[in-house]
Amino acid sequence: MAARVVSKRIMGLLQIGLVCALFLQVGCSGHQIHSDLYADPKIMVRKWTLSTHGPFEIGDHGTEYSNPVMSQNTLIFGNRSLGLIAMYPAINQQRWNLKINQGVVSELVLDDTSVYFGGGDGFLYSVNLETGKVNWKYELRNDIVSRPTLSGGRIFVTTSNDLVYALDAGTGKWLWHYRRRTSGGTSIYGASAPLVDGSEVLVGMSDGFVVALSLEEGVLKWEKKIHLGTKFTNVNAHPALDGGIIYIPSYDGALYALKRADGEVVWRFDAGGSKDVVLDHQRLFLPSSDGSVYCLQKANAKILWKFELDSGVPTQLATTEKYIIVGSSYQYLYLIDKNTGKAVYRFDAGYNTGFSGTPWYDSVQQRVYALSGAGNLYSFQMRKPSKKEFSHGSIDPYVFN
């Protein structure tokens, strides 16, 4: 009998081992395309981690949509459990916390005195940066909201049901709204942040169109369909404008370059996404829904390089003079050389607890902040080679900034 018991235990352990091996093969830790990459301390060092997520509730998969932003010596970020949080990052100490029902579900935008964002309770908020008190809130009746856009004393925001609002940024007073008559269909989370240019507001819609609205009344001036399929037609990215050309992708379609005046197509590149492109001189960087980051020539969409994530889809990009900082939705935070497309650093946040919101780069202190889907706020310090001559026996030629 004892032999049988031992035999069963051995078989059980073997089965567990086989299951674990199978999971590793199919991607429990991602596809491991870049298995040689690691968190190189010569490039960047993790300083601290702040756990911000409360108890998980039914239907909560741990995704965070906010982004950390700096205002002087204060770091502000949103959380689905705790609401809006301000802290002193140098000493990892909380300054204030504004609790919001269902938390913060959009990225944050700052001006000199206030922070603006969408709440999970269906309101658009303006909050005082100094005190954490609510200046005003406006009921949108939709908890899926774009990143707000500030321009000329006004705030513009888009909801997932294709309503574009213009409000007075100081008072929250309604100025106008534009309603898009679209049919229901398969959609993804998010909405396009409006771009104000001259007398028009440019914004993407969930039916695959980019529209131009009049700044004063919100009247449709022109529209251009940039998604020709029937699945995931959303245009959730913020339009990027340079030299009279709009650069904007649809989620499951392509990246387009359009003439600003009327939306005429200049070129199309067959990789879509819901995140903003980043413009850099004669290049642009696209975080694509196909799980890659592309570097393209702005003039003709020629591929200069492509970096494929180990797994998941990329967040919006943060950039330094030398690097692209990007998180994957499943697991990793990467630093990619802007000129070569080769990753030099990979931080593991844990499988299926990757990143959704945009990382923040503090160019003054050369620090990186990133909020994971599990609610962990990570603080990193960039490093650089020291010009100081070291005495015999010194082994670390790098310094913190």
pLDDT tens-digit map of 6-44 = 343 334 433 434 333 333 333 334 467 998 999 999 999
Residue 376 CB neighbour total at 10 angstroms? 18
Structure tokens of 36? 């040689």
Residue range of the domain that includes 364: 30-52+287-295+303-401
Instruction: Indicate the average pLDDT of the chain.
Output: 86
- Identify the pLDDT of residue 31: 64
- Identify the pLDDT of residue 83: 93
- Identify the pLDDT of residue 356: 85
Residue 176 lies in a domain: no
Residue 174 CB neighbour total at 10 angstroms? 11
Question: Per-residue confidence at 53, pLDDT binned at 50, 70, 90?
Answer: confident
Residue 376 lies in a domain: yes
Whether the per-residue pLDDT at 328 is higher than 60: the answer is: yes
3-class secondary structure for the chain? CHHHHHHHHHHHHHHHHHHHHHHHHHCECECCCCCCCCCCCCCEEEEEEEECCCCCCCCCCCCCCCCCEEECCEEEEEECCCEEEEEECCCCEEEEEECCCCCECCCCEECCCEEEEEECCCEEEEEECCCCCEEEEEECCCCCECCCEEECCEEEEEECCCEEEEEECCCCCEEEEEECCCCCCCCCCCCCCCEEECCEEEEECCCCEEEEEECCCCCEEEEEECCCCCCCCCCCCCCEEECCEEEEECCCCCEEEEECCCCCEEEEECCCCCCCCEEECCEEEEECCCCEEEEEECCCCCEEEEEECCCCCECCCEECCCEEEEEECCCEEEEEECCCCCEEEEEECCCCCCECCCCEEECCCCEEEEEECCCEEEEEEEEEECCCCCCCCCCCCEEEC
* Global confidence as pTM: 0.86
Whether the per-residue pLDDT at 215 is higher than 70: the answer is: yes
Whether the per-residue pLDDT at 69 is higher than 50: the answer is: yes
Residue 195 lies in a domain: no
Question: Per-residue confidence at 307, pLDDT binned at 50, 70, 90?
Answer: very high
Residue 2 lies in a domain: no
- Cα–Cα nearest to 121, from 132, 107, 98, 105: 105
pLDDT tens-digit map of 340-379 = 999 999 999 988 888 988 999 999 999 999 999 888 999 9
- Identify the pLDDT of residue 186: 55
What does the radius of gyration of the chain's CA atoms come to, in whole angstroms? 23
Structure tokens of 6? 């031992």
Whether residue 312 contacts residue 355, with contact meaning beta carbons closer than 8 Å, is answered with no
Residue 164 lies in a domain: no
Residue 11 lies in a domain: no
- Cα–Cα nearest to 360, from 176, 9, 89, 19: 89
pLDDT tens-digit map of 131-177 = 999 999 999 988 888 999 999 999 999 998 899 999 999 999 999 99
Residue 128 lies in a domain: no
pLDDT tens-digit map of 182-202 = 655 556 678 999 999 999 999
Query: How many domains does the chain divide into?
Result: 1
Residue 74 lies in a domain: no
